[in-house]
Amino acid sequence: MKFKKISKLLCVVFLVTFKYVNAQQAEQPKPNILWVLTDDQRYDAIRAFNKILDGREMSALGYVESPNIDKLTKEGTTFINTYCQATGCAPSRASMMTGRYPFRSGVYEFEYHNNQAEHSKPSLPEQMADLGYETLHIGKLGFRLKTTKNGKLKSAEVFQKNIDFKQLRRDGLTDWGKDWFYELDGKKFDKPIKNLEFFVTPDGKFEYVIPKDLESKFTKYKGTATTSVAKYDLFRKYSKKEPKSDYSGIILAGVSSRKAGKTRDGYYASIFEDYLKNENQEFTVGSRTFKGVNTEKPLFCHIGFDFPHTPVLPPASYRNRFQKYTYKVPTFNKKELENMPKQLKKQINNAYSDDFTDEEKQKMIQDYYAFCAYGDALIGEATDAFIKYSEAKKQPWVIVYVCGDHGWKLNDHGSVSKFSSWEIDSHNPIVVVSSDKKAFPAGKVVRDFTEFVDIAPTILAASGAKLEDEKFNYLDGLDMAKIASESIPSRDYIVGESHAVTGPRAFIRTKEYVFSMQTRPDKKRGENMDWALHASYKDLDPALYDMKNDPNEINNLAFDKKYATIAEKMKEKLINVVLGDNRVEVKWGKRGDGTELFRSNFAPGAHDYNLKL
């Protein structure tokens, strides 16, 4: 009898405790989340990353400056061995926004894609909205998603509020821009002037860089292209397809036409601060009006900074300081080309830079790191404002800083740009800072592999989503909080694939080696999906680098007999994972109105993170 009473009492205590714990969990507020992403940023632009990786604060090239991001690493957890899934802007951003590898989303380069495709799932911001968040985007998004409604194709609006860079530049809230113009100085055109470049002066006036063939129509701007070169000290890189001129080519170096804070990235930071200040009320951004932060909801904000993507135009206050430093320019030995895969050689030839003069190389590197230093200050402004707002409201918060959607070469391998599987193009550490120091401890460094597909599940989990629910089983990534706590096994490898510039190419990377290869003979979606299974090893155009003995990835060992076993194991794993484990290809069409889907699944479950060499 006494035993029964004790049992009943214990049951009552258990039920009361269970209800209390559940009630507490239900009442626990969702954190405000700020996701900061930069563009084309090398990891060596951050002192804290250099210190972790190489034991020194400065880049191997020379002086860098990053006090605000360094501060984030001290306050949060650094995932130092994070790699992107694709070394081109659009496919890399798609992997972050969807939480899926390119071979699962079907987005391999700069194609428009459609959310009406059979395999499509809600994007990260759409999932966050479903979880009760107000969602905001400021700046560059680069997520080329379309949707079809009532038979009409249109851009898919995945954020509830979208303060995008396109309208900002049209409103002059920038220092530089490029756009299609259907009207200029009151003159309307039947056909637009495409990709017309312009600078915005300190007093807000537009300086158009008019091509020579249009100068007769716009005599007011005659010679502006030439004067802009001297005025802004521009250094341009030209592709082989375009003639050298003062109005074409990407700008690798120069000075901003406006002071710090009034550049395109400067406006992103200040607009975010205005958004937080104008609680529940409207505020003006150029020609548009937006409502400030909704204090009744948790906030999910994505700031897509453009820096240090071309045009590389740091404000004079930063540029002048960095011009006093002399940098060690990466050297290029043309013998590297002898064993270089054809696809990687194609990228080098497309963006060759070793023929720049010494002065041009110095200017390019000085301005790049000056631009990164300026961007660091803007990140400091945005994150400080975000923390101040959250703590004033006594709300928990999380910051996710992603160092570039991929990297950038500064004469590494004799070229500029990205698009390769090399370390400098694909290594992009992430820092997560949280008011919850148990989830993301201050000053912790995680050396296990992490990937860009981990960003979506990490943010969703932090917001309270139950990733084990069926609605999230499409996610390819892992919760980085669990990686940090070592509550899940570590990865032996990471994988990626992109098709831009080099053509279809995938890579697999372990801590010791990186192997890459051509995945298909062409870009025709849904055709020859198993080509690599039957192609000769030579036709796969392979590359293998020994990261311990050759960290700069100069000597391709793919055909070295001593490494034959390693190359074979990595090749087999890569083929099975990216081509055989639920691969998706879609005929999207030029405008993104196609949804015809193709699958390849000859090696289901191959992507298990295990690879013993």
Tell me: do 216 and 161 sit in the same domain.
no
Question: Could you tell me what percentage of the chain is helix, strand and coil, using 3-state DSSP and rounding each to the nearest 5?
Answer: 35, 20, 45
Tell me: do 162 and 233 sit in the same domain.
no
Amino acid of residue 524: K
Domain range for 207: 176-253
Contact status, residue 609 vs residue 489, Cβ threshold 8 Å:
yes
Provide the CATH number for the domain around residue 136: 3.40.720.10
Tell me: do 265 and 404 sit in the same domain.
yes
Tell me: do 59 and 160 sit in the same domain.
yes
Tell me: do 280 and 195 sit in the same domain.
no
* In-domain check, residue 95: yes
Last residue of a domain, one of 203, 221, 253: 253
Contact status, residue 475 vs residue 96, Cβ threshold 8 Å:
no
Mean per-residue pLDDT, 412-434: 98
Question: What are the pLDDT digits (tens) for 333-390?
Answer: 989 999 999 999 999 999 999 999 999 999 999 999 999 999 999 999 999 999 999 9
* In-domain check, residue 117: no
Tell me: do 272 and 240 sit in the same domain.
no
Tell me: do 396 and 265 sit in the same domain.
yes
Pairing of strands 187-200, 176-184: antiparallel
* In-domain check, residue 548: no
The whole-number pLDDT of residue 27 equals 60
Last residue of a domain, one of 253, 287, 318: 253
Question: What are the pLDDT digits (tens) for 537-585?
Answer: 999 999 999 999 999 999 999 999 999 999 999 999 999 999 999 999 9
The whole-number pLDDT of residue 25 equals 44
The number of domains in the chain is 2
* In-domain check, residue 449: no
Tell me: do 68 and 204 sit in the same domain.
no
Tell me: do 228 and 148 sit in the same domain.
no
* In-domain check, residue 210: yes
Q: Is 12's pLDDT higher than 60?
A: no
Tell me: do 264 and 407 sit in the same domain.
yes
Tell me: do 295 and 419 sit in the same domain.
yes
Give the CA count within 13 Å in the CB-facing half-sphere of 331. 2
Last residue of a domain, one of 253, 276, 295: 253
Tell me: do 307 and 271 sit in the same domain.
yes
Taking the C-alpha atoms of residue 599 and residue 442, their distance in angstroms, rounded to an integer, is 43
3-state SS assignment for residue 548: coil
Confidence class for position 239, pLDDT limits 50, 70, 90 = confident
Confidence class for position 4, pLDDT limits 50, 70, 90 = very low
Confidence class for position 221, pLDDT limits 50, 70, 90 = confident
> How many other β-carbons are positioned within 10 Å of the β-carbon of residue 28?
10
* In-domain check, residue 305: yes
Amino acid of residue 486: E
